[in-house]
Amino acid sequence: MRKAMVVTVAWMVGVGLALVSTASAGERTKSASKDRTVSFRLASTNSQDGYQRMSVRGGEDFYVSSQTLFTQEQVVSIKTVDARDGQALELTLTPEAANKLRNASADRLAIISQGRLMAAPRVDTINSDGVARVTDLSPEQVTRLSRMIRNREAVQAGSILQVVPREASGTAGSLFTVDVFIRSAISLRTYQVALDVTGGNSGSLTREEAWIDVDRADYIFGSAQAIKAVDEVGGRMGAVLMDGAIQAAGSVYIGTFAFRASDDADGTFSINARSNGDTFISDVDHATQPLNMQAATITVSR
């Protein structure tokens, strides 16, 4: 087995800078591209303080709040439904977004993309499950908005980081190994992962080793040229594809961590990705992508 391993100094001074700079570039790209995502604001047909006049392309004028009410990331799903005057959209929102819309006084919802007003539908209803029905949309607007938001749904649901234990249970003092996979990678060029341990009734699981087995047939980048690094002290690992990006419908391997149970360890421990920025994926343009996490559990007995 061939492992990709780099000492901490090399990570911080050499290869690590590539990953860190990629992450920073991702944040810059993400920040610069905010206007290209869909955002939702309150709107009205009448002039109001704090609202600016905006025109729908080829249509009427509306007065739109300068404040974002919620974003495209807070739309869980979108569905086209029949309405009395044609078609409507049903947006399933996160609880936070649903509460904001439910408590809002405006009767219209401005939909903004690239700084332009795409539509300002009427908010017909919003139920207790967070499903908002918006009406007064043209057939073209229904089609365009459905496509734009569904594309975002695919990205949100498409990438999942999975921590899979080789040993789901064992005794105190034992070594436990977990492999990390990414499922349904979409245009992925860079990844970085760090794991944390929580839970247990007593004792601890302490990280002993981390490596990337680049000889595995399911390794994410295969034989493609990439920069790979492992930070033993910081508990991070990652890789940057030198050119292009990969698409993977199934699960692909990205690295392995080994944890030692202390002699007094007992109970069920959870191993999950660290969520303070040490775990991320980014695409070919260095823009960070949403990444859902699936933790592993290991039961230790004395």
Domains of the chain, earliest start first: 3-29+159-301 (2.60.40.680), 34-157 (3.30.1360.200)
- pTM for this prediction: 0.55
Convert the pLDDT of each residue in 165-184 to its tens digit. 999 899 999 999 999 999 88
DSSP-assigned states of every residue in 35-92:
GGSEEEEEEESS--TTEEEEE-TTS-EEEEESS--EEGGGEEEEEEEEETTEEEEEEE
As a whole number of angstroms, the distance between CA 200 and CA 60 comes to 60
| pLDDT tens for each residue of 48-80 | 898 999 999 877 899 999 999 998 878 877 888
Q: Which of 20, 261, 289, 264 is nearest to 155 (CA)?
A: 289
Cα 261 to its chain centre, rounded Å, is: 31
